[in-house]
């Protein structure tokens, strides 16, 4: 099974997630708390320090990318249905990226609120 395209997409997505996170980490004060868990309606239910909140999902996406990239070498069942495997891989990363988008959104709102009060 060829994994070059999904691997490249995965690494690109992880790179974008990481760059967005690093940019916001440098812009936010160190004691900023950001939401890391949301209800299905998008309401935040728990928070974490900005660095953890912004880097948690890019790290998870990198781990998922590594696991899916190594998967075909470990399991024979994966080779039987490579199309489904690639779809599950990319959908998993899309879900992580969407969740990261919620955190980025809240970080941008927090940054805008800080600048408005300053």
Task: Tell me the per-residue pLDDT of 21-78, one tens digit each, with 9 for 90 and over.
Answer: 999 999 998 889 988 888 888 788 898 999 999 999 999 999 999 999 988 887 777 7
Residues 6+ apart with CB under 8 A from 14: 58, 61, 62, 65
What is the pLDDT, as a whole number, of residue 1? 67
Q: Is 5 helix (H, G, I), strand (E, B) or coil?
A: helix
Q: What is the DSSP letter of 55?
A: H
Domain spans of the chain, in order of start: 4-113
What is the pLDDT, as a whole number, of residue 55? 95
């Amino acid at each position: 099974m060829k994994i070059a395209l999904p691997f490249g997409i995965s690494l690109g997505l992880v790179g974008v997630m990481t760059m967005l996170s690093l940019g916001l980490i440098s812009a936010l004060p160190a004691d900023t708390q950001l939401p890391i868990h949301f209800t299905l309606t998008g309401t935040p239910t728990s928070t974490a320090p900005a660095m953890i909140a912004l880097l948690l999902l890019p790290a998870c996406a990198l781990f998922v990318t590594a696991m899916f990239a190594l998967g075909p070498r470990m399991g024979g069942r994966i080779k039987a249905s490579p199309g489904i495997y690639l779809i599950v891989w990319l959908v998993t990363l899309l879900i992580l990226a969407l969740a990261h988008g919620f955190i980025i959104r809240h970080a941008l709102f927090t940054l805008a609120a800080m600048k408005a009060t300053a």
